[in-house]
């Protein structure tokens, strides 16, 4: 299966209501699907979660520790739905949270897919001195991680005590502006 996207600058404003109104007008003319940003799982649960879940097909069948950053909980929910769908055996799922507690939200969505499972929730957000807005720099293998998400997760990982075994780190995004345009 091949995926693709066309990016269309629809508005000079980054406000959601303006962007959405312009995108909706384009979608009505072209039949395009609008991928909204933010926590929009209620209207498009299957589309969002299944798009992520399908990516899990490509990971190893057995993993000791799966480590993911957790903001809204949509990606981590989709990954765990995929673990169930593809029969992946993961001993421990670690969610490293950079946002308010999403555990109830995640379990509720997993239950709807028959995929509820235990996970270990590491809340950076609730730690004294944590600031979402304060960026952290981290990279590995030439990938500069997103300074508000994956870089903070990698900083946590260094002090986590997780060593050895089969560890998979789920990377959702790199640092904005670091990818070369073709």
Instruction: Enumerate domains of the chain plus CATH numbers.
Output: 46-170 (3.40.50.1100)
Regarding predicted confidence, which is higher, 181 or 95?
Answer: 95
Tracing tokens 């798009």 back to the chain, one arrives at 51
State mean pLDDT over 44-69. 91
Q: Under the phi-then-psi rule, with left for phi > 0, alpha for psi from -120 to 50, and beta for the rest, what region is 31?
A: left
User: What is the model's pLDDT at position 34?
Assistant: 74
Burial 136-153 (b: 16+ CB within 10 A, else e): bebeeeeebbbebbbbbb
Tracing tokens 């169930």 back to the chain, one arrives at 84
In three-state secondary structure terms, 167 is: strand
- Nearest CA-CA partner of 150 in 165, 133, 135, 131: 135
User: What is the model's pLDDT at position 182?
Assistant: 39
Q: How far is CA 26 from the centre of its chain?
A: 27
User: What is the model's pLDDT at position 11?
Assistant: 60
**Which residues lie across from 144 on neighbouring strands?**
139
Q: How far apart are CA 64 and CA 69, in angstroms?
A: 17
Q: Is the pLDDT of residue 41 over 70?
A: no
Q: Is the pLDDT of residue 35 over 90?
A: no
Q: Is the pLDDT of residue 78 over 90?
A: yes
Total residue length of the chain: 182
Q: Is 174 exposed, middle or buried (0-12, 13-18, 19+ CB in 10 A)?
A: middle
State mean pLDDT over 84-111. 95
pLDDT band at 181 (very low <50, low <70, confident <90, very high): very low
Q: Look over the chain and give the mean of its residue pLDDT values, rounded to a whole number.
A: 86
- Nearest CA-CA partner of 60 in 92, 80, 95, 89: 89
Q: Is the pLDDT of residue 88 over 60?
A: yes
Specify the pTM.
0.76
- Nearest CA-CA partner of 100 in 58, 71, 69: 71
Integer-rounded Cα radius of gyration of the chain = 18
């Amino acid at each position: 299966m091949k995926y693709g996207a066309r990016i269309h600058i629809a508005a000079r404003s980054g406000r959601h209501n303006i962007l959405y109104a312009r995108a909706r007008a384009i979608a009505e003319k072209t039949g395009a699907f609008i991928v909204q940003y933010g926590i929009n799982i209620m209207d498009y649960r299957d589309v969002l979660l299944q798009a992520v879940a399908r990516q899990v097909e490509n990971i190893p069948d057995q993993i000791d520790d799966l480590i993911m950053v957790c903001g809204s909980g949509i990606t981590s929910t989709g990954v765990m739905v995929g673990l169930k769908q593809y029969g992946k055996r993961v001993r421990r799922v670690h969610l490293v949270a950079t946002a308010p507690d999403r555990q109830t939200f995640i379990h509720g969505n997993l239950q709807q897919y028959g995929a509820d499972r235990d996970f270990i929730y590491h809340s950076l957000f609730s730690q004294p001195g944590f600031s979402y807005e304060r960026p952290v720099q981290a990279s590995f293998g030439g990938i500069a991680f997103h300074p508000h998400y994956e870089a903070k997760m990698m900083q946590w990982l260094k002090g986590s005590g997780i060593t050895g075994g089969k560890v998979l780190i789920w990377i959702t995004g790199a640092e904005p502006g670091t990818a070369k345009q073709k």
